[in-house]
């Protein structure tokens, strides 16, 4: 069975601090896909990144970076120089190759204070 | 810009009074999903349409129904809302049903049941 664990319920940082959101997953499939979504207070789930299980390259997009490590079944998300606008709930999710059901983690609330 | 639109953004209904939530998309995606998200929880998939094929999740209550009259529109009908149905309802779309397909979400409709 698939499972996604986001152990950090809530994180508070001061603006300009770096912050890492942890995501650990479980799956029996060899092919799978990992996602991060951001949900600001307005409620919309905003897609941030998709990574397939065969691509362990880390990715950087502006202040965002993702570290995928199959050896530890983790797909962590780092925000560099955090800003108040980064305050949101962040969800990590997993889908298997055959099937489009997203399994979400419980989410991490990120609060960035000025 | 291509997008997923949900109307209304806020909906208030009375206990037991049928209510319909609307979703439309300009992405021309084949798959449309409905999720229920209760406070401080991850989204929970209710059902999805792949083109005209309806796929219900096993634990979705019979009180929830859906219609997809065409590619662009999908409706969520709650036949007799209970207090426990108060939640954010999120519509999402994807091109296909494989795990690699990214789901794109609308802004959600917050349902309040009085």
Interface test with A, best of B99, B104, B107, B111 (most A CBs within 10 A): B99
What separation in angstroms does the CA of B9 have from each of A20, B96, B113?
Answer: 32, 26, 14
Counting every residue, how long is chain B? 114
> Which pLDDT score is estimated for B97?
85
Nearest to B57 by CA among B40, B38, B43, B72: B43
The answer to whether the CB of A74 falls within 8 A of the CB of A67 is: yes
Q: Which stretch of A10-19, A86-95, A96-105, B28-37 has the lowest confidence by average pLDDT? A: A96-105
The answer to whether the CB of B48 falls within 8 A of the CB of B99 is: no
CA angle B106, B109, B114 (to 5 degrees): 170
Chain A closest-CA separation from residue B37 CA (Å): 10
The answer to whether the CB of B43 falls within 8 A of the CB of B108 is: no
Helix, strand, or coil (residue A13) = strand
A77 band by pLDDT with thresholds 50, 70 and 90? very high
The answer to whether the CB of A52 falls within 8 A of the CB of A29 is: no
Interface test with B, best of A3, A102, A105 (most B CBs within 10 A): A102
B2 band by pLDDT with thresholds 50, 70 and 90? low
Peptide bond into A109 cis (omega under 30): no
Determine whether B10 is exposed, middle or buried from the number of CB atoms within 10 Å of its CB (0-12, 13-18, 19+): exposed
Q: Which residues of A touch B42 (CB under 8 A)?
A: 91, 104-107
CB within 8 Å: B92 and A107: no
Look at residue A84 and tell me whether its pLDDT is greater than 80.
yes
CB within 8 Å: B101 and A44: no
Find residue A110's DSSP bridge partners.
A11, A88
Q: Which residue has the higher pLDDT, A99 or B3?
A: B3
Question: Which residues make Cβ contacts (< 8 Å) with residue B10, sequence separation at least 6?
Answer: B109, B110, B112
In this prediction, residues B40-69 reach a mean pLDDT of: 95
Q: Which residues of B touch A96 (CB under 8 A)?
A: 99
Structure tokens at A4: 């996604």
Peptide bond into A25 cis (omega under 30): no
CB within 8 Å: B98 and A31: no
Calpha distance B66→B27 (Å, rounded): 20
Counting every residue, how long is chain A? 114
Q: Which stretch of A94-98, A107-111, B39-43 has the lowest confidence by average pLDDT? A: A94-98
- Chain A residue with minimum CA distance to B35: A102
Residue identified by tokens 């108040």 is A84
At B89, which helix (H) or strand (E)? strand B87-94
> Which pLDDT score is estimated for B99?
82
Q: Which residues of A touch B104 (CB under 8 A)?
A: 47
**A-B Cβ pairs (cutoff 8 Å, strict):** 63
């Amino acid at each position: 069975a698939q499972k996604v664990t986001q152990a950090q319920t809530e994180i508070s940082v001061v603006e300009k601090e770096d912050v890492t959101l942890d995501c650990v997953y479980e799956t029996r499939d060899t092919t799978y896909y990992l996602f991060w979504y951001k949900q600001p207070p307005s409620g919309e789930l905003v897609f941030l990144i998709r990574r397939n299980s065969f691509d362990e390259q880390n990715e950087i997009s502006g202040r965002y970076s993702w570290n995928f490590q199959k050896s530890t079944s983790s797909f962590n998300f780092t925000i560099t120089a955090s800003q108040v606008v980064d305050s949101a709930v962040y969800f990590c999710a997993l889908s298997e190759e055959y099937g489009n059901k997203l399994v979400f983690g419980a989410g991490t609330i990120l609060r960035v204070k000025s | 810009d291509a997008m997923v639109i949900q109307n209304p953004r806020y909906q208030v209904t009375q206990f037991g009074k049928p209510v319909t939530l609307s979703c439309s998309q300009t992405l021309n995606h084949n798959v449309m999903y409905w999720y229920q998200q209760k406070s401080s929880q991850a989204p929970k998939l209710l059902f999805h349409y792949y083109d005209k094929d309806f796929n219900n999740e096993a634990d979705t209550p019979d009180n929830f129904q859906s219609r997809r009259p065409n590619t662009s529109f999908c409706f969520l009908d709650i036949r007799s809302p209970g207090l426990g149905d108060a939640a954010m309802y999120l519509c999402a779309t994807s091109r296909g049903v494989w795990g690699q397909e990214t789901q794109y979400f609308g802004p959600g409709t917050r349902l309040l049941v009085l």
